[in-house]
Chains A and B, each alone.
Chain A
Amino acid sequence: MDTKKEELYFVHNTPVPETPAPGQKPEPWQQTQMVGQRRARVDGYERVSGTAAYPSDVILPKMLYAAILRCPHPHATVKKVDTSAAVKMPGVHAVISGMTPATNPVWNYRTWEGHLKKSKLFDPHCRFEGDTVAAVAAETPYQAQDALRNIDVTYDVLPYVSDYRKALDTGTPNIHAEGNQVGQPQTQERGDVAQGFAEADVVLEETYYTACEIHTPLELHGCLANWDGDRLTVWESTQGVYAVQATIAEVLELPLSKVRVIGHYMGGGFGSKGDTSKYSIIAALLAQKTGRPVKLFLTREETYLATGNRPSSHMTLKAGVKKDGRLTAMEFTAIGASGAYPAGGTSLLDWLIKDLYTCPNVRTHTTDVYINAGPARPFRAPGHPQCAWALEQMMDALAEAIAMDPIKLRLQNIPDFSQARPGNPPYTTTGYKQCLEEGATQFGWQQLRKKYAANKKDGNWLRGVGVAGSSWFLGNGFGPATIILKLYADGSVNLNMGASDIGTGTKTIMAMVVAEELGIKPEAIQIEHADTGTTQFASVSGGSKTVPTEAPAVRDAAITVKRRLLEMAAEDLKSKPTDLSLKNGKVFIKNNPSKAMPITAVAKLKQHHVIVGVGNRGPRPTDKTVIPFAAQFCEVAVNAHTGEVQILRFLGAHDSGRVMNRLTYDNQVFGGITMGIGLATTEKRVLDHNHTGKMVNRSWHEYKLPTSMDVPADMQSVPIEIPDDVANTTGAKGLGEPVTIPTAAVVANAIYNATGIRVTETPVNAVQLSQLLAQHRKEG
């Protein structure tokens, strides 16, 4: 082998795990060489330098730009769309609307719980502000916008309902024929709740609200569509190219084989790009109609209205506890808003109530309603941050009521099996206890609690600390995973994977898994991914599934390649494959390491030019469930005069199994906390309830994301690393969502500790706190 190449591709003097014999399961990794390190992203340079071509960067010859005319009213019927002026405008190539039946296919709104509502691409009954009315393709984006302004739409404006708490009131306008309730309210019950409350020493009840949040990923939603004969190619900023492929094929009645969706890079989604949107269909139809590539990226304002949200939640929680800290009963009643179509307005909203703490008597009752506003979409840990806002504040209040440390109360009630799942399966691993204990130690919990119990005042500021914990519904991913790994004759490697890297570092982690098994440098691995034309099926990158789903399949593919390589080398070395091992890009005989050959010298590899290894996700445990756990801590200061909140420190202790890459792991923790600070302190969709039902803060200035000034510089990630070898062959559990679940509740609990004020409604900043502090002073 060329020594230079050896240095180029292989990590020097690094042992790789022994290769299991065919049919034998790989051993869990012991001491890893690559996995778990702090490694910069394999595509970091491309992303930072701007050479990475995101879908919004792609330009094709003769490309047209499309734009969508959206209903300005939250509820209206389209009577007439007059496009006669628009079609004559300079640069305009096509205008489509509900008046052009050939370009108005059926569009289904559906949820994973099974709700389905048939609509049209351009439904004349517009049920939310931002619903699609018409679309234009023109030579330039400006011409497209000018054309939109010249489409004359006659609307019959209808009464609307924008407040989800009033959606079911009598006299409220119906959004769908059957009314404003999405399916039936869900009731779940175990034990005897009344009996549980009777047994309690303390029973507390509180109502909590969380405001509707918008996803606001940095890269806008959109795509570029191009036809080549009857074959459609779509470049889309998406979390799942196969999901987009399936929807386009269904709506346009095309075979899957004729629809190619590419999404190599994408600039964030947080769940809003897990669903397929109407714009993909509109771009495809306009491209078909004009015979030109059509690019359709939404404006920021459109994304506020039409590409999903975390629905607002209204939750009442009653909970009983014994003086010794045992929970006796919980009763949870909640309303959430899907928006104008079924969209999971209460998805998983009661999950933590049912599953996080040991409690024999639990009843939950959730009602999902329609309102005239954009349909929700999964938003980083659907339902969970809202539920944690209620449950984890309640735990804090219960602890105080029985004079127990809030961490101790949580520790008293940690189950080792899932109470909410049929059959009560045990958890494969549970690090919740360690998250709380190790997090508390590293944070300095006991000392700070004592300190602030004695004196909270720091000039004009009141200081306090808070804690909250959580689990996440899903730790072991879902969906099939098929990986193709190619080892080329020169020793370099190509990794082929269907999954999208939504900014979490998926590509880097998968490269590290290959590197771990083959001893190759991660940066020497070429990655093909997120392309339905060249990769194998992968489900959407969402649900914290990508690492636990794809990494074991990548490991499997790498082992398959290794096995094949050793088989080939065995012929050259006149040995048995099981007697061979791999190191430094060389195959050698285990009990005679002097007998070695570079892999590039393996005769069959030279002859075939490539070894192709196919990897699959192995079986999941059927009798156990895989769940990530979290505890977070923060310290706040609240200005006693003005109610301003400063978050001074944050610490996240997370059990997500094995740490695959410490750098991207910490990035996730810090990013999740940052997002949770947004829920806690700044973010809120504001609808003009009284006059128009329209959203009034649909800009990046008025819809307030936290800035770097609102997020503490002092953030600490404390991994509770318990490799979960039962879950999968890499020992990793999901991380991307757990990191944002407890955050808002942590902030609320810290504010309570500082001020004695229980803030039940998000967002919490000087707007709320100035008034609450004044009331608090009045009440003494």
Chain B
Amino acid sequence: MLPNFAYTRPDTLKEAVKQLGSEEARLHAGGTDLLGCLRDGVFSAQKVVSISKLDALRGITKTSKGGLEIGTLTTITAVAEHPLIQSDFTALANAAGEVASPQLRNQGTLGGNICQKPRCWYYRGEFDCLRKGGDTCYAAEGENQYHCLFGSDDTCFIVHPSDTAPALTVLDAQVRIAGRWRKKTVPIDSFFVLPADDVQKETILGADDIVTEIVLPPPPAGIKSSYCKVRARRSWDFALAGIALALAFNDAKVAHARVVLSGAAPIPWRSMAAEEAIMGQELTPDIISKAATAAVKDAEPLAQNGYKVPLFKGLVEQELAKMKV
């Protein structure tokens, strides 16, 4: 059952930012994650600030240079179904189509999807875990079958739950942020926060910051991108393992490579090792196999998530093979 909170729906971005600056205020976009967190007592809110009136933050616009600006309130369904995203930013359309369930995609927003809270069941449940300000990570030696292989820094073992974030990362997206004192644009790969940097934060957003747009640069010539997600059931489930790819080829050789894993780490996990293994190479079975091995080389499996090592390996192999020209 939801706790008591005040609810406000400002008319302007400025007012929304101002309202967010008040004590224990929480931003409400699609609400699919926020309401769940409030209901489950993951965190509390004295005030819920809805940005649903800010129509300027909704919609997909083509930039003059051939890129895209996607308003933060654009629904996941709108992203998945957009023809230009499907053709030129395929990884993002794929990823959006893999999010949750049709109902959640209709309600959830792109901004909300990259800002969502982790799904670790200790974090979501009645456990006073590190990420909630407690002093224990229950997952480290607990039920950790859905936890991370990389990037925990032996601190917190969440995986980043977003499907769209790894796709946006391979597409070199930028995130526009409006705050009380600033407006800024950051590359998406510096938007997310590792536990070592701040175990209680998933993004660099301050309390009164709002993601306003996600900007996609024009795609490099000949780029092919994709996103593939493996889960325990085929709808309404987060990734056990996922992979976003963006590759461009010179003849048959890889000339541009982005490999980003989901379900792997507390942030969308760029696998530089896999990228290095394929750069300048033809995607032969041997190279693909090397890249798959490289992708999991530094994995640090826990007691119950060891399956993710062969799973990621298999997934990298399967998806790189599909990219082969």
Residue pair B127, A710 in contact (C-beta under 8 Å): no
For window 609-643 of A, CB contacts with B under 8 Å fall at 639-643
A208 CA / B236 CA spacing, docked (Å): 29
State the majority secondary structure of interface residues on A. loop
For window 374-393 of A, CB contacts with B under 8 Å fall at none
Rounded to whole Å, the gap between the CB of A297 and the closest CB of chain B is 12
Check: A33 CB closer than 8 A to any chain B CB: no
Question: Which of chain B's residues have a CB closer than 8 A to the CB of A687?
Answer: 143
Question: B121's closest neighbor in chain A, by CB?
Answer: A696
Question: Which of chain A's residues have a CB closer than 8 A to the CB of B121?
Answer: 686, 696-697, 702
A771 touches which of B101, B127, B307, B317 (Cβ 8 Å): B307
A698 CA / B121 CA spacing, docked (Å): 9
Question: Which of B23-31, B105-113, B225-233 interfaces with chain A?
Answer: B225-233
List 16 contacting pairs A-B, 8 Å CB cutoff, sorted by A. Answer: A299-B1, A643-B311, A682-B232, A686-B143, A688-B138, A688-B143, A691-B138, A702-B124, A704-B233, A707-B234, A766-B230, A766-B232, A766-B240, A771-B306, A774-B309, A774-B314
Given contacts A145-B1, A688-B143, A690-B142, contact A770 B314 (CB under 8 A): yes
Q: Which of B234, B240, B315: most chain A Cβ within 10 A?
A: B234
Residue pair A642, B101 in contact (C-beta under 8 Å): no
Check: A767 CB closer than 8 A to any chain B CB: yes
Residue pair B307, A768 in contact (C-beta under 8 Å): yes
Question: Which of chain B's residues have a CB closer than 8 A to the CB of A681?
Answer: 233
For window 231-278 of B, CB contacts with A under 8 Å fall at 231-237, 240-241
Residue pair B315, A765 in contact (C-beta under 8 Å): no
Rounded to whole Å, the gap between the CB of B207 and the closest CB of chain A is 25
Residue pair B122, A696 in contact (C-beta under 8 Å): yes
Residue pair B311, A707 in contact (C-beta under 8 Å): no
Rounded to whole Å, the gap between the CB of A755 and the closest CB of chain B is 13
For window 81-113 of B, CB contacts with A under 8 Å fall at 101
List of 5 A-B pairs having minimum Cβ-Cβ separation, nearest first: A641-B314, A774-B310, A770-B311, A709-B234, A771-B307
Residue pair A460, B318 in contact (C-beta under 8 Å): yes
Question: Which of chain B's residues have a CB closer than 8 A to the CB of A591?
Answer: none
For window 221-249 of A, CB contacts with B under 8 Å fall at none
Residue pair B314, A708 in contact (C-beta under 8 Å): no
Check: A36 CB closer than 8 A to any chain B CB: no
Check: A360 CB closer than 8 A to any chain B CB: no
Q: Which of A141, A142, A644: most chain B Cβ within 10 A?
A: A644
Residue pair B230, A707 in contact (C-beta under 8 Å): no
Check: B286 CB closer than 8 A to any chain A CB: no
Residue pair A641, B317 in contact (C-beta under 8 Å): yes
Check: B222 CB closer than 8 A to any chain A CB: no
A763 CA / B232 CA spacing, docked (Å): 9
A773 CA / B314 CA spacing, docked (Å): 10
Check: A316 CB closer than 8 A to any chain B CB: no
Check: B66 CB closer than 8 A to any chain A CB: no
State the majority secondary structure of interface residues on B. loop
Residue pair B230, A694 in contact (C-beta under 8 Å): no
Question: Which of chain B's residues have a CB closer than 8 A to the CB of A643?
Answer: 307, 311, 314
Check: A692 CB closer than 8 A to any chain B CB: yes
Question: Which of chain A's residues have a CB closer than 8 A to the CB of B241?
Answer: 642, 766
A613 CA / B226 CA spacing, docked (Å): 69
Question: Which of chain A's residues have a CB closer than 8 A to the CB of B136?
Answer: 691
For window 648-687 of A, CB contacts with B under 8 Å fall at 681-682, 686-687
Check: B145 CB closer than 8 A to any chain A CB: yes
Check: A689 CB closer than 8 A to any chain B CB: yes
Question: A687's closest neighbor in chain B, by CB?
Answer: B143
Rounded to whole Å, the gap between the CB of A545 and the closest CB of chain B is 32
Check: B135 CB closer than 8 A to any chain A CB: no
Given contacts A688-B122, A771-B307, A774-B313, 10 further A-B contacts (CB under 8 A): A460-B318, A641-B315, A641-B317, A643-B311, A690-B142, A690-B143, A692-B127, A766-B240, A767-B232, A770-B307
A592 CA / B307 CA spacing, docked (Å): 80
Given contacts A142-B1, A767-B307, A768-B307, contact A709 B318 (CB under 8 A): no
Residue pair B311, A766 in contact (C-beta under 8 Å): yes
A704 CA / B138 CA spacing, docked (Å): 21
Question: Which of chain B's residues have a CB closer than 8 A to the CB of A706?
Answer: 233
Question: B319's closest neighbor in chain A, by CB?
Answer: A641
Residue pair B143, A689 in contact (C-beta under 8 Å): yes
A707 touches which of B125, B145, B236 (Cβ 8 Å): B236
Question: Which of chain B's residues have a CB closer than 8 A to the CB of A709?
Answer: 233-235
Question: A460's closest neighbor in chain B, by CB?
Answer: B318
Question: Which of chain B's residues have a CB closer than 8 A to the CB of A217?
Answer: none
Check: B141 CB closer than 8 A to any chain A CB: yes
Check: A701 CB closer than 8 A to any chain B CB: yes
Check: A173 CB closer than 8 A to any chain B CB: no
Question: B100's closest neighbor in chain A, by CB?
Answer: A701
Question: A72's closest neighbor in chain B, by CB?
Answer: B126
Question: A766's closest neighbor in chain B, by CB?
Answer: B230
Question: Which of chain B's residues have a CB closer than 8 A to the CB of A686?
Answer: 121, 143
A697 CA / B142 CA spacing, docked (Å): 13
Question: Which of chain A's residues have a CB closer than 8 A to the CB of B119?
Answer: 702
Rounded to whole Å, the gap between the CB of B312 and the closest CB of chain A is 9
Given contacts A642-B315, A692-B138, A767-B307, contact A710 B234 (CB under 8 A): yes
B233 touches which of A688, A692, A694, A707 (Cβ 8 Å): A707
